[in-house]
Chains A and B, each alone.
Chain A
Amino acid sequence: MSDAPGEAPPIERTDCVPLLSVRNLERIYRLGEQTIHALRPLNLDIHQGDFIAIAGPSGSGKSTLLQLLGLVDSPTAGEVRVRSRVAQDLGQEQRAALRLRTLGFVFQAFNLLQMLTARQNVEIALALAGFPRRKRRARAEELLSAVGLAERLEHRPLQLSGGERQRVAIARALANEPDVILADEPTGNLDSQTGREIVNLLEDLNRAGQTIVMVTHNLEIARRAGRLFLMRDGRIDEVDPGDPRSLD
């Protein structure tokens, strides 16, 4: 099903090897006696240039999938491949390096560091990647300008609106030119107007070639993605974003 073509992506796929692929991925949580199948065995390929939305009610397993794709959680069975490398075979440090350079995170709660300014929040990712200080500053300003925050460089998160905070988070996610941006309910804490603006921004980025995987329970937003997947009880199905039945 992962090969089923959705709407034609805005940019031709240049690479046959998926950026991220998931094979027979399974995640089971054990809470005492209880066993929760957060993910039934599932397969998914994410190619260069994809804008993928994963939608579903809460508890359907979409966040679990995103965390597995982001290498911050480990599967019970199956594997996650980053390009052709199997994530589970990598050590802690290598996975941290992959997160740093090939994955960019955007969270519902923004997860900015409160004591740092917008620019410093972006610089953290650059500093971790070993950018020298001066380059870091210039690059952070460039990234923040690109998301429309050129006037907000020295503001702290508390001085920014929700939409602005999410833009800082997106700039941070883009800092090290990741292969894929993983966005977990990026509009969840925003009003609908601001949420649409954030999706516009993500669309712009995708048009420029950025691969994006977005998890959301908001179908209106989900349908703006190039490919739409619906999740329910740990299973995933690709649907046509243009098909009104996908609203069910």
Chain B
Amino acid sequence: MSVFDSLRIAVRAIVANRLRSLLTLLGLVIGVSSVIALIAVGQGTQKGVSDQIRGLGTDLIFIEPSAAATTQQGAGALTTTTLTQADALAIAANGNPAIQAVSAHITGETQAIAGANNVGAESVFTSSNYAEVRDLEIALGSFIAPSHDDAGSLVAVLGSRVAETLYPGIDPIGQEIRLSFLAGRVVFAFTVIGVVREVGGAADANDQVFVPITGLANRFRFLYTPTGDLRVTQIDVQTTPGADTEEVKQQVSDLLLFRHNRSDPDFTIESQDDLLDAASEVANTLSILLGVIGGISLLVGGIGVMNIMLVSVTERTREIGIRRAVGATAGDIVNQFVTEALALSVLGGIIGIVIGVVASLLVDGQTVGDQEMTTVIQAWSIAAAFGVSAGVGLISGIYPAWRATVVDPIAALRNE
């Protein structure tokens, strides 16, 4: 019998047992589509995280007080930070050609209020060079100018989402914005001078408000160390493109150790690459985990096919006996059952791919909780899922097919 004959017989048998075939397919469809969709989510998460980190700017090194130095939260943390603006200035003044710009800042959760509108926003107290270091572009007005740094002006630059929420349909430039600190105990009014262009991905910058650190420092004396240095919670160092970031990290670290007069660091220093590595390691683990879950459901689907084929051999003992009596060889029977299992699993694979791809596309860009989902469909995951389902189909067809060949045609044909 030709392959087409076998296929025709298989299709007939599948159609003749619609419900059974459908249930078998379901297992495979769920397996294949979940492998594709879960891997797409895993890969999307990975891409989302790395986009977020890349969105912070380019060629950055981040310096933060080490954990030991910041055991306290909120304003308390500020009083114990070991980093100061003088450190940032010293790094910048070092004359290292590998360093392009240095910016220091303090961040704090605040409530931003304008008229009747208010929104929770992260305030970034920084200086005029922050926009350059973090690659922020201005959509409206201007960013903090050096003159604002010097004067300690009470001006604010808004992230795009903050601007939209507080000033819907109004030009925010020149408007008053009030920022409330320490759970509303302290409120200061600022004048809006600019809005940052929306940053892609899930970047924080859209939800931030940028104000000159000097303006704040004049009002919060505790921001100063006893020696008169301004405390900061983070220093960003932008390296010259092509510079060896590991070397720069070492140099900056040495400088800070010297300035802090310590042998062990009271700060952590990490490059963007370090963050990317750490984040993609986490995302990779997530990807693998999701892939394994998908793989298990595929395996279960495959066992379903085997189960159905075995039941079908028992159920169709008579049919097998008739075929044998008419003159079908053992090979013909094996061929028939393997073809049937393969046809089922290939069909399940194809439907699963369609559903998996469609589901991945639907989930892409949806917000779950406050997390925006990103999915990246991988060609290899489609190929692997399809290959596994076809392979599972083949294997789960062979054993029942072998069982079918040992069916005794006489027993099968015994008159009922």
- Using a CB–CB cutoff of 8 Å, the interface residues on chain A facing chain B are 67, 70, 72-73, 92-93, 96-97, 99-101, 103, 105, 107-109, 111-113, 115-116, 124-125, 127-130, 133, 172, 176, 184-185, 188
Interface residue B115 (Cβ < 8 Å from any Cβ of A): no
A124 CA to B321 CA in the complex, in Å?
Answer: 13
- Known A70-B325, A73-B410, A96-B330; further 20 A-B contacts with Cβ < 8 A: A72-B409, A93-B329, A97-B327, A99-B324, A99-B325, A105-B326, A107-B415, A108-B415, A111-B322, A113-B319, A113-B322, A116-B12, A124-B323, A127-B1, A127-B5, A128-B1, A128-B323, A128-B332, A133-B5, A172-B326
Residues of B within 8 Å of A125, CB to CB, are 326-327
| B415 contacts A109, C-beta separation under 8 Å | yes
Q: How does the 8 Å CB contact mask read for B311-326 relative to A, with 1 for contact and 0 for none?
A: 0000000110111111
- Using a CB–CB cutoff of 8 Å, the interface residues on chain B facing chain A are 1, 4-5, 12-13, 16, 318-319, 321-332, 409-410, 413, 415-416
| B1 contacts A130, C-beta separation under 8 Å | yes
Residues of B within 8 Å of A188, CB to CB, are 415
Query: Is chain B's interface secondary structure helix, strand, loop, or mixed overall?
Result: helix
Which one of A99, A111, A124 contacts B413 once the chains associate, using CB atoms below 8 Å?
A111
Which one of A73, A97, A111 contacts B329 once the chains associate, using CB atoms below 8 Å?
A97
Contacts known (A107-B415, A108-B415, A188-B415); A96 close to B329, Cβ less than 8 A: yes
Nearest chain B CB to A94 CB, angstrom units: 9
A105 CA to B326 CA in the complex, in Å?
Answer: 7
Chain A, Cβ-Cβ closest to B332: A128
Chain B, Cβ-Cβ closest to A70: B325
| A111 contacts B330, C-beta separation under 8 Å | no
| A100 contacts B327, C-beta separation under 8 Å | yes
Nearest chain A CB to B401 CB, angstrom units: 15
A48 CA to B327 CA in the complex, in Å?
Answer: 21
A16 CA to B101 CA in the complex, in Å?
Answer: 110
| A185 contacts B415, C-beta separation under 8 Å | yes
| A67 contacts B410, C-beta separation under 8 Å | yes
A113 CA to B16 CA in the complex, in Å?
Answer: 11
A177 CA to B12 CA in the complex, in Å?
Answer: 27
Chain A, Cβ-Cβ closest to B409: A72
A-B contact pairs, 30 of them (CB 8 A): A72-B410, A73-B410, A92-B329, A92-B330, A93-B329, A93-B331, A96-B327, A96-B328, A96-B329, A99-B325, A100-B327, A101-B327, A105-B326, A107-B415, A109-B413, A109-B416, A111-B318, A111-B321, A112-B322, A113-B319, A115-B12, A116-B12, A124-B323, A125-B327, A127-B5, A128-B326, A128-B327, A133-B4, A133-B5, A185-B415
Chain B, Cβ-Cβ closest to A64: B410
